[in-house]
Each structure stands twice: as structure tokens, then as C-alpha cells.
Amino acid sequence: MEIMLLDLFMIYFIFMVIFFLHFFFFEKKRRNFEGIIGGPEILKLKAIEKIETLMVAARFCGVFFFIFNAYGLVGFYMFVRMVDSRLGHWLKLLVSLMLLLKTQGLYVGITYVKSAVAKGAVCLDGSPPAYHWDKGFGTGINSWLIHFEGGGWCNNVTSCLSRKKTHLGSSKLMGQQIAFSGIMNNKRPFNPDFYNWNRVKIRYCDGSSFTGDVQAVNPATNLHFRGARIWLAVIEDLLPKGLKNAENALLSGCSAGGLASILHCDSFRALLRMGTKVKCLSDAGYFIKVKDVSGAPHVQTYFNEIVTLHGSAKNLPLSCTSVLKPSFCFFPQYVAPQVRTPLFILNAAYDSWQIRNILAPSIADPLGVWKSCKLDINNCSPLQLKSMQDFRLQFLNALNKSTNSSSRGLYIDSCYAHCQTETQEKWFMEDSPVLGKKKIAKAVGDWFYDRNPFQKIDCPYPCNPSCQNSGLAPPDNPEKKPPNGSAASVNMSTLLCGLLMLMGVMLP
């Protein structure tokens, strides 16, 4: 039995090698075909014959698509089970990563809104705003998901100058393509309700959750605080591309982008035509006003500096700024209760970013007592867990007034996590977090389509065994340039295709 499985694994490995060899031979032959087309008739016929052979091979690949996936993955996993336990642990992790690559294979190209520069809608460094758009298809052709990228904020000139040198401050430094997974996935098994929508990710390069608007630019720093203009410029660019005809629209975002989806929720609805079904989703964007472990109001001071530096006050909801200080209106607990558009709040009660940066920021923990705990909740001492349980209670109290409508959605799990819509393993996989017997994707989809309302708050940590409590946030937009500028999805089935195409190319 062991030998048979080992053989299966070796065959599986050989197919991988053949797959990459296929690229070399096929590209070489393709160039030959291009040189032949237009030559003598007999040579054209030979070229066409070769192409047809490859096409037959490609069709044959489709027949064995699922079979090969199943045998390849199952065989590999069974082989892993037989090896040394320590080695097996790492190989199982490799299998998981391979499975994850299957679901994160779509890479989408960037679109620069160059016309926005004339309107002053620019990133921190003055470069044009940008977004990534994967077009909808089928029944989703007139449905739009607009997703704000996250990535923190800059609260003073020094931090904004540092940010300007990264993709979070300049579109010149953004990758040409980014991975679309989770709620952005284009495959129904991994994103059942939004897979065929127009899915747009607005890149984040202003540092103010798209709220800033300062006309003056200091020539010494050349910093532009124009986040609110970026937001409007991107929407204006998308409207003639089909957004104006939207039948369904969902404004979402993660972290700082999740905050933006709350702050701009009602204005988004106002920008679309009457009759459009519009809702908003905030993922890990419900930042609360609490004191840190030293008793200092660190986050309140921080948010006040952001609002002041970026001139955000005039772009925050008037329903809040008319009665409270503008900096308070950067906190969702003071804005969300007045949002009229249906809003879904998705958040971990033990949000790992808030635990690390609001409850126990480095400035409040100079000796690093919280360092190990912040990396992994399982390392927390009883006293630290007590502080985190108190944080949860304050979070739920701040959330209380935001659940005053039946149109609201609420998914507050007890995971130690931050951002759960952008990573496939948290959004919709076999081992994704579950609350009220529903995974996040199912709860959000049911809420958007009015199939079932969803307002659930999880029991305290560590009651939910479905949580993946590493506390690791998703990477900032995995950016790369896949082969030939196409989707870089390496399915196991393509390994068989590689063999068949290679055979076709090498035919005399």
C-alpha cells in the first residue's frame, strides 16, 4: 500500500515537471506557427493540423478535470500521513497552501484613473488613484461589489512621508495585478453569492479612510491629503462603465477600508440611481473608543490627529459632526446608529489589530509584556485574558446602539482575527469560522438577498472551536505579474493538460 501511494505521489510530481516543460515547448512551437501562417499552403495545413492536435488534447483535459484533482490531492495527502510526524506536519501545511492557491488563483490588472489628477484626486505623493476590476458575467452583470482596501492611517507628516514611499501612499508603487480571493473570488464554490458580480477593489493610498481633503500642498513635503476626492473620482470613473445601471450594489471594505464603508455608506447610495438595491458591509472596521492598558486614551488622540491633518471633518457624516466633535465621528459607534442604508457589521470581538494597537499599543507596553500574547492569544496570561474579556464587553457595549434596525446584519465571532472577507479560509472554506451554524459568506449572502436576517454575537473566548486564532491579518494584496498577464491559477488538472499538450506539440 505504501509503495503504491509513493508511486502515485512520484507520478504526481512528474506531471508537475511536465507542466512547466510544456510552457517552453508550446511557446517555441507557437512562434513557429506564427511564422508559418501566411506561407505556402501545405505548411499552413501542417500548422493547422498541429494546432488542432493541441486543441483535442485541451478538450481531453476537461474530461479529466475533477478526476485528476481528486486523485492528485488525495494521493498526496495519504502519502503525507505515512511519513514522520514532524515532517508530516510541514507537508500537511504545504498541502493546505496548495489548496489555498487553487482558490486564490485569480489575478486582476490595475486601472489608473489618470483623469482624476486634474481634479486634485491623488495619492499622498500626487500620483493618480487606482482600482482593480474583474467584470461581472451571467446573472451578475448588473451587480457591483465595491471594496475598499485597508491599511491603517497616517496621523502626522512624518508617518505620511514614510507611507508615501509605499503602495499605501503611491500608485507608482502598486503591483500591476493583485489576487482576488474570499469575497472577491470569481468561483461559485468559494464565493456563492458574489462570484459573478462586477468586483472592484479601490486601492488605498491616502491614509485617511478616503475622508481627507486639503487643498494646500506644502512644497517641502509634497504631501497631498485628498482621500475623499479619490473616492468620488473612482466612482465617477465606474459609473459610465456600468455602475450607473447597477441593480444590486454592495459597498464593503476591510480594516481602514471597513471604516470607510461605514463613513461613505449613505453617500454611496446617493450616487446610484433610484431603484438600485444598495447595502454596505464593514469587515473589521468597527474601531472603538477605549483606553489602553496604561489607562491612556491613545486611540482617541490618534484619530483626532488623523482627522485634523487630513481635513476630514467636512467629509464625515453630518448627522454626527452636527452634534459631536469631528474626531469622535471617526469612530463607528457614533456614526453607525445614524446610517440609513442597510449595514452589515462583521467583526471579531477580540479583533487582533485592535488588541495590538488600541488595547495594548507599544507605547503603553514599553517592556513588551504583551508581545507574546499579541502574537498568539494562546500565550496570554490570565491577567491579559481578563483585559481582553473586558475589551470584548466594551466592544459589545459600543456596538449596542448600532443594532437598532432589523435591516442591520451582525456577525460578531469570538475569533482572534482581523479581516475575514478577503482570505478564502475565513470567508468560505470547509474549516471557515461558524456562528449560528453559518459561515460568513452564507450569512452575508442571506442578509443581502433578504433570504434570512442575521444578527448573532458569539459566546466569549474560547468557546468557538471553528476559530483559527492565529491573529494573523491577511497580507496586503498579494501582488505579482502572472505568466502572460493572465490568471495565475495552477490547477492540478493542468498538469495532465501539460502532458497532453506536450505530446501534441512533439508530434511529427
Count the neighbouring beta carbons within 10 Å of the beta carbon of residue 59: 10
Sign of CA dihedral 351, 355, 361, 362: negative
Strand partners, 198: 144
> Do 353 and 290 touch, CB atoms closer than 8 A?
no
Residues classed as catalytic: 255, 351, 418
Find how far residue 387's CA is from the centre of its chain: 30
Q: Are strands 198-202 and 130-134 parallel, antiparallel or unpaired?
A: antiparallel
Q: Are strands 409-413 and 343-348 parallel, antiparallel or unpaired?
A: parallel
d(CA 97, CA 108): 20
d(CA 44, CA 37): 6
| Residues in contact with 103: Cβ distance below 8 Å, sequence separation at least 6, in sequence order | 181, 185, 187, 190, 424, 429
Nearest CA among 439, 434, 435, 433 for reference residue 469: 433
Query: What secondary structure does DSSP assign to 286-307, as a single string?
Result: -------TTS--HHHHHHHHHH
Phi, psi (degrees; rounded to nearest 5) at 111: -125, 125
